[in-house]
């Protein structure tokens, strides 16, 4: 099902590239299967369904990562999503019926749904309470699911909280910020978690982000995954800490992992203007192999933490996303949330407490004018949409060695596309070697998937060089299908 629909979508993508340029993509070019995802943080299910139909499907996104769908503690903060009280698919983000409708509508336009699975822990409340749809709970008691005997009591720290990330035992068996830590080594617990994941699969999800995977022994996650149907996509969140005992590599045997090194290295290098060229070495140190990696510039935690670039950085953030989408390492996931000044602030809500989906209309591009609560809508920025088209056209073409000139930088994906970036505060020009045919091409970062190409968005290729003139913090990219003359 996924494959067939995907073919239709990338057929349309390349068709639009051809329509734009008025000349055909040489037949040697096989468009790549879409692999780019988008995390739509705290966006309600009905809004995600609409977004799939109006934006994600047409742009060629392959998957969307949702916020956690299960019942949670009651509260205003976004992070109540990460405190499960039952596995009912009922939350501030929508009902079970709305979730199911989203999965089928996204699937119909070729977009898989990846659900955020919070399975390391339950709530972090000390006092008993009642969840979003009325489930009673206590810190280590969730009627019908788990009793006190099914939680870890690590007994290693004063409050049973994780204190030392240098201790494997603490990280996996103590409580992460007071969140009741499930005994994932127990067959009964594994089975209950498995039933929850199976339920989501029965609604059509393609796979899961495994929240806080580092806080579960890899063998525990492996056992839970082994019980899922073959082909279920699994993306473990294992925040890499260079000197920590638990490393992401332990989790690659049964799925992909979010590779936190990628953004950590890309961001600072962009800011200093010292762009790094991974092709100068054969392997990326402290990175999992490309086929295991999910890469991102930021996510909901890092944008509230130490992400070097977020929506607040405007053009430079777009530039970083462009380079990630141009790269040949891992499956990229674009992040899209809402503006905030208080790290705990939830997305705007309706009178009944459900999250409001907002609108993308005011901010179609990086913008300094976000008010708190505005959706950033990164998935609709012209430069992002243009790069999805670019990525489909370059496919698996080799990434050629980068060149750096006048503090600007660029590289070719052999014979099919060229990208360039100027992370500095002054105009800069760079000529990037390419085997693309001579001619004038449209910059798809500036022009998105637009049908006509304004003069200012054109890039000339002559005698094996693509000549880019870039404004401060501008990235630009051309591909075989974006040729205008
Ligand atoms: C994750 N990945 O491993 C999520 O991506 C991250 O967003 C989650 O933290 C975390 N792990 C647990 O799933 C968020 C948020 C925390 C919040 C927790 C639980 O960043 O601030 O903790 O969710 O809702 C909050 C309070 C904290 C309190 C805790 C329990 O900030 O002070 O701890 O609730 O009541 C006493
Ligand atoms: Ca644990």
Cα torsion at 115, 116, 119, 120 (round to 10°)? Answer: 160
Instruction: Single out the residue of 48, 215, 35, 191 nearest to residue 115, CA to CA.
Output: 48
Instruction: Single out the residue of 366, 390, 387 nearest to residue 376, CA to CA.
Output: 366
Give the pLDDT score at 270: 75
Query: Which of 41, 82, 215, 333 to probe ligand 1 with, by most ligand atoms within 8 A of CB?
Result: 82
Are 266 and 325 within 8 A, CB to CB? no
Give the pLDDT score at 1: 26
Give the pLDDT score at 401: 86
Structure tokens at 403: 């060149």
Q: What is the residue with the minimal CA distance to atom 28 of ligand 1?
A: 177
Q: Is 149 helix (H, G, I), strand (E, B) or coil?
A: helix
For residue 183, the CA-to-ligand 2 centroid distance in Å is: 7
Does residue 226 have its Cβ closer than 6 Å to ligand 1?
A: no
Closest ligand, as measured to the CA of 122: 1
Atom of ligand 1 nearest to the CA of 213: 3
Q: What is the residue with the minimal CA distance to atom 8 of ligand 1?
A: 82
- Nearby residues of 191 by Cβ (< 8 Å), 6 or more positions away: 227
Instruction: Single out the residue of 119, 118, 141 nearest to residue 128, CA to CA.
Output: 141
Does residue 160 have its Cβ closer than 6 Å to ligand 1?
A: no
Does residue 82 have its Cβ closer than 6 Å to ligand 1?
A: yes
Give the pLDDT score at 404: 87
Backbone angles phi, psi at 332, to 5 degrees: -80, 145
Distance CA 258, CA 238 (A): 7
Please spell the DSSP secondary structure of 184-220, one letter per residue. TTSHHHHHHHHHHHHHHHHTT--EEEETTGGGS-HHH
- Per residue of the chain (485 residues), what is the pLDDT tens digit? 232 223 233 333 344 444 444 333 444 556 678 899 999 999 999 999 999 999 999 999 999 999 999 999 999 999 999 999 999 999 999 999 999 999 999 999 999 999 999 999 999 999 999 999 999 999 999 999 999 999 999 999 999 999 999 999 999 999 999 999 999 999 999 999 999 999 999 999 999 999 999 999 999 999 999 999 999 999 999 999 989 999 999 999 999 999 999 998 887 777 665 555 555 455 677 899 999 999 999 999 999 999 989 999 999 999 999 999 999 999 999 999 999 999 999 999 999 999 999 999 777 788 768 999 999 999 999 999 999 999 999 999 999 988 888 889 899 999 999 999 999 899 999 999 999 999 999 999 999 887 789 999 999 999 999 999 999 999 999 999 999 98
For residue 287, the CA-to-ligand 1 centroid distance in Å is: 26
Give the pLDDT score at 274: 58
Does residue 301 have its Cβ closer than 6 Å to ligand 1?
A: yes
Atom of ligand 1 nearest to the CA of 237: 3
Give the pLDDT score at 29: 59
Atom of ligand 1 nearest to the CA of 77: 24
Q: Which helix (H) or strand (E) segment is 421 a member of? A: strand 417-422
Q: What is the residue with the minimal CA distance to atom 21 of ligand 1?
A: 79
Give the pLDDT score at 114: 98
Give the pLDDT score at 22: 37
Total-model pTM: 0.94
Distance CA 400, CA 413 (A): 6
Domains and CATH numbers, the chain: 1-32+397-485 (2.60.40.1180), 34-123+191-380 (3.20.20.80)
Catalytic residues: 211, 237
């Amino acid at each position: 099902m996924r494959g067939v629909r995907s073919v239709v979508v990338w057929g349309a993508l390349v068709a639009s590239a051809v329509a734009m340029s008025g000349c055909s993509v040489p037949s040697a070019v096989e468009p790549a299967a879409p692999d780019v995802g988008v995390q739509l943080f705290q966006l309600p299910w009905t809004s995600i369904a609409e977004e799939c139909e109006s934006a994600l499907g047409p742009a060629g996104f392959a998957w969307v990562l949702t916020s956690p769908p299960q019942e949670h503690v009651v509260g205003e903060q976004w992070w109540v999503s990460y405190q499960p009280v039952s596995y009912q698919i009922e939350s501030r983000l929508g009902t079970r019926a709305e979730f199911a409708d989203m999965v089928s509508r996204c699937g119909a336009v070729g977009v898989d749904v990846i659900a955020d699975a919070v399975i390391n822990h339950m709530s972090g409340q000390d006092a008993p309470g009642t969840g979003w749809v009325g489930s009673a709970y206590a810190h280590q008691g969730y009627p019908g699911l788990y009793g006190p005997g099914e939680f870890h009591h690590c007994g290693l720290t004063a409050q049973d909280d994780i204190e030392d990330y240098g201790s494997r035992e603490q990280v996996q068996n103590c409580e992460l910020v007071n969140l009741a830590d499930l005994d994932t080594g127990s067959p009964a617990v594994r089975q209950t978690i498995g039933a929850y994941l199976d339920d989501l699969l029965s609604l059509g999800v393609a796979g899961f982000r495994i929240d806080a995977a580092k806080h579960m022994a890899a063998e525990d996650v492996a056992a839970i995954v082994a019980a899922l149907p073959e082909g279920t996509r699994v993306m473990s969140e294992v925040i890499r800490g260079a000197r920590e005992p638990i490393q992401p590599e332990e989790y690659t045997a049964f799925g992909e992992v979010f590779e936190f090194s990628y953004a950590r290295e890309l961001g600072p290098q962009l800011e200093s203007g010292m762009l790094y060229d991974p092709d100068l070495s054969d392997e990326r140190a402290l990175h999992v192999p490309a086929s295991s990696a999910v890469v991102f510039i930021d996510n909901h935690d890092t944008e509230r933490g130490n992400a070097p670039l977020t929506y607040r950085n405007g053009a430079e953030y777009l530039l970083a996303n462009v380079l990630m989408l141009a790269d040949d390492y891992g499956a990229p996931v674009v992040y899209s949330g809402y503006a905030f000044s208080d790290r705990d602030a939830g997305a705007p809500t309706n009178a009944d407490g459900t999250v409001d989906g907002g609108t993308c209309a005011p901010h179609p591009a990086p913008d300094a004018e976000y008010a708190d609560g505005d959706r950033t809508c990164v998935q609709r920025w012209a430069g992002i949409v243009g790069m999805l088209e670019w990525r489909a056209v370059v496919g698996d073409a080799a990434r050629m060695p980068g060149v750096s000139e006048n503090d600007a930088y660029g590289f070719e994906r052999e014979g099919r596309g060229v990208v360039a970036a100027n992370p500095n505060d002054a105009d800069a020009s760079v000529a990037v070697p390419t085997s693309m045919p001579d001619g004038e091409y449209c910059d798809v970062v500036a022009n998105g998937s637009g049908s006509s190409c304004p003069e200012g968005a054109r890039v000339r290729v002559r005698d094996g060089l693509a000549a880019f003139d870039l404004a401060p913090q501008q990235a630009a990219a051309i591909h075989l299908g974006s040729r205008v003359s």
